[in-house]
Structure formats: C-alpha cells, structure tokens
Amino acid sequence: MATATITATGITVTPTDDVSAQSLLQLIWLASPALPVGGFSYSEGVEAAVEWAGIDSEPCAAEWISDQLHLSFARGDLAVCAQAIAAWSAGDMPRIRELNDWVMATRESAEFLLQTEQMGRSFVEWLKLHHADTAEVFADLGASYPVAFAFAASRAGATAHDGCLAFAFGWAENMVAAAVKAVPLGQSAGQRILGRLAQEIPDAVTRAMALGDNERQAFAPLLAVLSARHETQYSRLFRS
C-alpha cells in the first residue's frame, strides 16, 4: 500500500507495503459497475459523440475515451477523489465540504449535475447498509459521487493512490460499456480499449494526485456541448 501526504501543491505518494487482500477486494467491489449506484445509466457524452462527433469505430472510441481520461476526468473528479480520501481519513469535514461544493459547481450541463448527484445519493444509500454512521456523516451533505466514493474507499482502508486507481478503472469500465452499446462495438473491441485505458490509468492517477486546488479544472467545451445536446437527442440509451 502507499501513504499520501497533503501539501499546498497536491498529494505526495510514498510507496510502502502491498495493499492488503481485504482492502483490495473492497476496492474492487466499490469500483464495480454492478454496484447499484446507476453508473451503467450514463455514457458521459459518448452517445452524443457517436451522432455528432464522428465516433464510429474502435480507434475513434479509444481516442475519445483516452482523451476524456487525461483532459477531463483526471484533472477534475479524479483529483477530487484523491484529496477527498485523504480528507475523510483525517476527519476534515470543512475540506470535504469544500471539495464537494467544487464538484457541484463545476458540472457543465444539467445532465452531468444530475449524474453526480444521483450516483452520490445512491452510493450513500448503499453505504448505509455497511457503515452504521453513514446517515449521520452525510446528514447535511448532498454528496457528489467522487466524494461519496472517497468516503467508502477511506473506510476500506485504502490510500488515496489505491482508491484513485479503483475509481478510475470503474469509470473506464462504464465508459467502455457505453461505447460498446452506442457505437456499437464488439466485446473484443471493448476489451482492447479497456486494456489500453488500464495501461494509461496509473499515469493519470499520478498526475491527478499532484494537482493542487488551483490546478484542478473542469473545462471540456466540446464534451459540455455534446452533453447538452444529448438532453434532446432522439432515441437515446443513456441518461447522459
């Protein structure tokens, strides 16, 4: 496992022992698309990109999702997840509220805001089955999904680094599943894309953990436009 230290410029990761089997299994469980939080309901722009941005093949879909990983997800939600895991571990609720407010304020479309609110709310409801104090902790906090996931990862004993790896891979699985359905692609193509993302995720996590508060961003104009257009897209499979 690794240890994380928060500084003014970001999070410093110090490798120590390997992650425990119990913690690893908890992270795999938390990141699973099968978890009843509704992640499978969202394509995060892929469905609209198929119609309006020419995402019509395996190479195009792979490039699109890879770009989204590095240019959007890693700079925003993944960085928040890293900082929130450390804040939950330290019991720093003012910091948690600050990070949660940032996520809510930076959703660039109504659909993206709906997604983080709904998935966060569903995650909290699921967590109530596993942690007796969940209702109290989230009593007056409308948790965004990255902040709710960070709470669960912290309770599982995960470091920020390990939690972010799981968070990113769960996101990647959902995105690839959406592309397989929407482009459409075959299952083998989907696995090839997921394999590529698995190779790129560690670097994305490292860069996300190095970001300070003034370096996080949620600025993806084309993605925001496609998300807004998806709200009225004819014959759609996904909620966003």
Q: Which residues contact 116 (CB under 8 A, 6 or more apart)?
A: 103, 104, 107, 144, 145, 146
Could you tell me if 181 and 222 are in contact, meaning their C-beta atoms sit under 8 angstroms apart? no
Residues 6 or more apart whose Cβ sits within 8 Å of residue 12? 4, 5
Q: Is the pLDDT score of 14 beyond 80?
A: no
146-166 residue pLDDT tens: 999 999 999 999 999 999 999
239 in a domain, yes or no? no
Q: What is the CATH number of the domain that holds 149?
A: 1.10.4190.10
Q: Which residue range is the domain that position 209 belongs to?
A: 58-230
48 falls within a domain: no
Task: Flag whether 238 is in a domain.
Answer: no
Q: Is the pLDDT of residue 4 over 50?
A: no
Q: What is the pLDDT of residues 82-96, one digit of tens each?
A: 999 999 999 999 999
In a domain, 22, yes or no: no
> pTM value?
0.88
| Average pLDDT score over the chain | 88
- Domains in the chain: how many in total? 1
Contacts of 133 (CB under 8 A, 6+ apart): none
Contacts of 199-205 with CB under 8 Å at 24 or more apart are 200/66, 200/69, 200/70, 201/69, 201/165, 201/168, 201/169, 201/172, 202/165, 204/69, 204/70, 204/73, 204/74, 204/78, 204/168, 205/74, 205/78, 205/82, 205/161, 205/164, 205/165, 205/168
Task: Quote the percentage of the chain above a pLDDT of 90.
Answer: 71
From the list 204, 108, 90, 107, the residue with the least C-alpha distance to 146 is 107
Q: What is the mean pLDDT of residues 115-133?
A: 93
Q: What is the pLDDT of residue 7?
A: 46
**What mean pLDDT do residues 121-125 have?**
94
- In-domain check, residue 46: no
Structural domain includes residue 86 = yes
pLDDT tens digit sequence for 168-193? 999 999 999 999 999 999 999 999 99
Asked if residue 104 is part of any domain, the answer here is yes
Is residue 10 within 8 A of residue 209, CB to CB? The reply is yes
Q: What pLDDT does 5 receive? A: 47
Q: Would you say residue 88 lies in a domain?
A: yes
Residues 30-53 pLDDT 10s? 988 888 888 788 888 888 899 889
With 0-12 / 13-18 / 19 or more C-beta atoms within 10 angstroms meaning exposed / middle / buried, residue 139 is: exposed
For residue 84, the surrounding DSSP H or E stretch is helix 77-90
- Does residue 3 register a pLDDT over 70? no
Q: Residue 141 pLDDT > 80, yes or no?
A: yes
Higher-pLDDT residue of 40 and 194 is: 194
Question: Is a pLDDT exceeding 60 seen at residue 13?
Answer: no
